[in-house]
Copies of this chain bind each other. A is one copy, B any other.
């Protein structure tokens, strides 16, 4: 799945500039791209070429000109047909597991410190996600069903990290017991 579809999705809720999209994607817990300029501005050019969006240049006195992008009918059709596409499995890339796989070289204290460090990272990540959710920069609420879905989507990520947290806590406890 490409970032272009996420961009189309956002534009289906509101016309936006590249800069707006960057911020929305950066702040999103669900859209996992970093929100770097390179990808966004290039994607917008491509979407324009494909006729899935249009843009209107807005000159401003005391700031750089804006390009406000709007989704086209063709873009909305594309978004709809993508929604019916077979879902992809999540990509779970946990480099920590590979690290732990060869952590038997460590002393019991070093190993516990490693596990604790992971636990702390996860805790911080959960706080960060909750803070992002609290700020709630962007969320469409067109229907009650959409609101419900967005709540469950937000939960998903946080609860995945919580699950990981429980996993590491159990290991630490079991290792302490010996």
A residues near B, CB below 8 A? Answer: 1, 5-6, 9, 12, 30-32, 79-80, 82-106, 110, 114, 117-118, 121-122, 125, 142-143, 145-146, 148-150, 152-153, 155-157, 159-161, 163-164, 167, 171, 174-175
Contact = CB atoms under 8 A, between A and B. Distances in A.
B87 A90 contact: no
Nearest to A79: B102
B150 A94 contact: no
A87 B96 contact: yes
B84 A114 contact: yes
Most buried by B among A121, A142, A163: A163
Contact of A163 (B32, B106, B163, B171): B163
10 contacts: A79-B105, A82-B99, A84-B106, A90-B94, A97-B153, A97-B157, A148-B175, A155-B167, A156-B167, A160-B163
Main SS class of interface, A: helix
Given A9-B102, A31-B98, A167 B157 contact: no
Given A90-B92, A93-B32, A106-B83, A100 B167 contact: no
